[in-house]
Amino acid sequence: MNKNCTAEIISVKTLQSEGVKLFEDVLVSGADLRIRVTGRSMKPFLKGGEILTIRRVPCSSLRKGDLILFDCQGSLILHRIIKKCYSEAGTLSFQTQGDARQAADGPVHKDKVLGKVLLIEKPLAGGRTRLLDMASAYWQVLNASIAMTIPIRMLLRYSFRHVPVLQMRKRN
């Protein structure tokens, strides 16, 4: 290693935490945040490459089916609300899950929610873009329906993997 060169090593965790703080600051200021989808946990609904517009909203206004951006131990996660929960003390939290995930996330406390997806820009062939307004009645009903089917999908996955009568048999 070159002795004349001093390098400061910043951990990925530190960078992630600073990114979460930056995004939170933008949203708390009242500005909308536009981010590009990079993960696969929300397939097939979000395939990657979409641009999301996110806004900070009161957590009390969030509903089953809403897509929320939240802080999970210094990492940004975007998943669907599948259940709204209140503790005995009245503290609000959310059960979330990625559409492509087999299991739900741990509880997301309301203080960890950064914002809600309001608009999705889906790229189409020829450089065109399709806009999905998540606040429209159509998408609110559809997103709530998707959230309600998640437990059924999980049960079906389990059944086809663990119930012998339902397992596919190889033909000889």
Specify if 168 maps to a domain: no
For 140, the domain range is: 13-160
Query: For residue 121, is it within any domain?
Result: yes
Q: Whose CA is closest to 78, among 48, 109, 117, 107?
A: 117
Express each pLDDT in 50-68 by its tens digit.
999 999 999 999 999 999 9
- Global pTM? 0.80
- pLDDT of residue 95 exceeding 90: yes
Phi and psi angles of residue 102, each rounded to the nearest 5 degrees, phi first? -90, -20
Average pLDDT value over all residues in the chain: 84
d(CA 141, CA 144): 5
Rounded Cα–Cα distance for residues 19 and 10 (Å): 13
Mean predicted confidence (pLDDT) in 58-81: 94
Q: How many domains does the chain have?
A: 1
**Does residue 34 form part of some domain?**
yes
The answer, yes or no, to whether residue 164 has pLDDT greater than 50, is yes
Confidence at residue 2, expressed as pLDDT on a 0 to 100 scale: 39
Domain assignment present for residue 68? The answer is yes
Question: pLDDT band at 153, cuts 50/70/90?
Answer: confident
Q: Is residue 3 part of a domain?
A: no
pLDDT of residue 35 exceeding 50, the answer is: yes
CATH code for position 17:
2.10.109.10
In a domain, 146, yes or no: yes
